[in-house]
């Protein structure tokens, strides 16, 4: 059994990847920033793949501690991690990066670099 971790699997592309991996018999761990988003995604995935091995965990990829805890939770539940998908990120508005406010620049880089 392959164990996959997808950061930001509560919706969008990450959720779609989670569905695909589950259908192929993989154990899947997803994350998101809120308990409610994670719980509803896990419920929807479980409904779509009855008996699927799914773990959901609140983890903000901008926090190194959360990211480490996410890995540890997946490894503890499924015994190992075979594949880590750095999916969670934000897709900032178009325009020159240098024109963006510093707080936005920090947020974008925080997510991409600490993931």
Residue 70 touching ligand NAP (CB under 6 A): no
Instruction: Kindly identify the residues of this chain, within the stretch 18-57, that bind ligand NAP according to CB under 6 A.
Output: 31-34, 37
* CB proximity list for 49: less than 8 A, separation 6 or greater: 19, 22, 23
Among the listed residues 3, 55, 57, 60, the single contact to ligand NAP using CB under 6 A: 60
Among the listed residues 3, 4, 10, 17, the single contact to ligand NAP using CB under 6 A: 10
Exposure b/e, 39-78, CB count within 10 A at least 16 = b: eebbebbeeebeebbbbbbbbbbbeeebbeebeebbeeeb
Residue 73 touching ligand NAP (CB under 6 A): no
Residue closer to ligand NAP by CB (options 51, 91) is 91
Do residues 111 and 62 lie in contact, with contact meaning Cβ atoms separated by under 8 Å?
Answer: yes
Binding residues for ligand NAP (CB under 6 A): 7-14, 31-34, 37, 60-62, 87-91, 111
């Amino acid at each position: 059994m392959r164990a996959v971790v997808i950061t930001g699997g509560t919706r969008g592309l990450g959720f779609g990847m989670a569905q695909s991996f589950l259908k192929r018999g993989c154990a899947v761990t997803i994350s998101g920033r809120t308990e409610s988003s994670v719980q509803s995604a896990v419920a929807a995935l479980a409904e779509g793949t009855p008996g699927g091995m799914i773990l959901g965990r609140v983890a903000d990829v901008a926090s190194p501690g959360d990211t480490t805890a996410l890995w540890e939770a997946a490894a503890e539940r499924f015994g190992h991690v075979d594949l880590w998908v750095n999916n969670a990120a934000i897709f900032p508005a178009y325009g020159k990066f240098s024109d963006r406010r510093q707080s936005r620049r920090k947020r974008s880089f925080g997510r991409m670099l600490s993931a």
